[in-house]
Amino acid sequence: MPIQELISGPNPARDDVQQTAFTYDVVGRYICNNWQEITAAQGSGAYPFDVVVIGAGMFGAYCAEKLYRLGSASALRILLLDAGAFLLQSHIQNLPQQLGGKVGGPSYLRTRDDASGAQNVIWGMPWISNEGFPGLAYCIGGRSLFWGGWSPPLTDADLANWPNDTTAYLKSADGYPKTAEEIGTATNALTNAVNAAIPLDGITEVNEAPLAVQGMPPRSGLFAFDKYSSAPFIMDALRNDVSRNAAYGDLSRRIFLVPRVQVHRLNLTGNTVTSIDLSVEGARQLLQLASGCAVIVANGTIESTRLALESLGVGSLQFGSPRVGNLMAHLRSNITVRIKRTALGLAGPPTEVETTALILRGSTMGRRHVEHGSGH
């Protein structure tokens, strides 16, 4: 479907690819759809969407890709919505010479939008906070384009109060072991000597840190991720869909990604979501859902909580009343410690570059992990 030209000229853009002053938006055009195309894709002869995923960041994009792959036998049809737009096709640290510039974070922390809008292209602040916060990365892949480390697998003690079916899945071959292969943290390194060398009270485990770096593709046809993000996963799924399921154009395709869509509210009939209030490039729209359509809320801890409070009747909006519990977030603090080689009884400077990264697990009060990186 034709899209607006950004640069005027005597000839229309070929292949419906927009041009800016510097680029052809080939990748964005070939993985994203606009709202008019989604409307047309639900026309006569098309199947309704089986799943709507809200948020195409770290978890939403990954979830949508898995639904597409594992739902092929049932021909699941998936609609993936995100408030941001396509930014980078891989992790920012995979780009040469800091090509991403300052995009990897906001200029400063905010407690609310201070009329500066999205900082450094994508970092928006959609809520009012009592603490300074970087905000959300409004882009496909979300914060997974920028994170350098990842939360390690939960231990048995961590999972003690989790639902049994969730715990069983995480421990199965399709759970943590499969994820470790995908994101590049499974390397089977020898760590027995390290365990023996660190006889510290409270330390229960020493393993390689989950830095999520992979040098080889997991399967033929999918390029290596290097630093992991969910962006290559969803890009590959979308292009696979076009190559396999477009015999009748968008009417027969199974997965769509629509950027610049802000979800405001989930409308319920009983306990079922039957429609979604949203804005597409600033214009309000109502997305009607077919009976049996599943809605997956994956747009970040805080935004997901907002939808749960406002739309699903979970918790209370009244100040001082019980709110929503059982939330989980990945928080991080950096502490730099230098230990001289002589303190460890190591003679002289190293003859080769020595770099390692480890995760040391332990607990005192509460539960925490320590990621340790070292190098010369």
Structure tokens at 374: 């070292």
DSSP 3-state helix, strand, coil percentages of the chain (rounded to 5)?
A: 25, 20, 50
Give the best-scoring range by mean pLDDT among 82-96, 168-182, 245-259, 352-366. Answer: 245-259
What's the pLDDT score for residue 347?
79
Inform me whether the pLDDT recorded for 234 exceeds 50: yes
Q: What is the mean pLDDT of residues 285-313?
A: 92
For residue 141, pLDDT over 90 is answered with: yes
At 170 the three-state DSSP class reads helix
Predicted local distance difference test score (pLDDT) of residue 190: 45
| The length of the chain, given as a count of residues | 376
Query: What is the average per-residue pLDDT within 33-60?
Result: 95
pLDDT of residue 188: 46
The predicted structure's pLDDT at residue 227: 79
Mean pLDDT lowest among 91-105, 180-194, 235-249, 328-342: 180-194
Q: Find all residues with CB under 8 Å of 34, minimum gap 6, and list them.
A: 1, 3, 258
Maximum average pLDDT range among 140-149, 286-295, 312-321: 286-295
Contact 20/6 with Cβ under 8 angstroms? yes
Whether 177 has a pLDDT exceeding 60, the answer reads yes
Helix (H) or strand (E) holding 311: helix 301-311
Domains present along the chain, CATH in parentheses: 32-150+214-331 (3.50.50.60)
Helix axes 58-70, 231-245, angle to 10 degrees: 30
pLDDT > 70: percent of the chain: 73
128-158 in b/e form (b: 16+ CB < 10 A) is eeeeebebbbbbbbbbbbbbbbbebbbeeee
Band (299; pLDDT cuts 50, 70, 90)? very high
- Phi-psi category of residue 46: left, alpha or beta, with phi > 0 → left and psi -120 to 50 → alpha: beta
Q: What is the mean pLDDT of residues 34-53?
A: 94
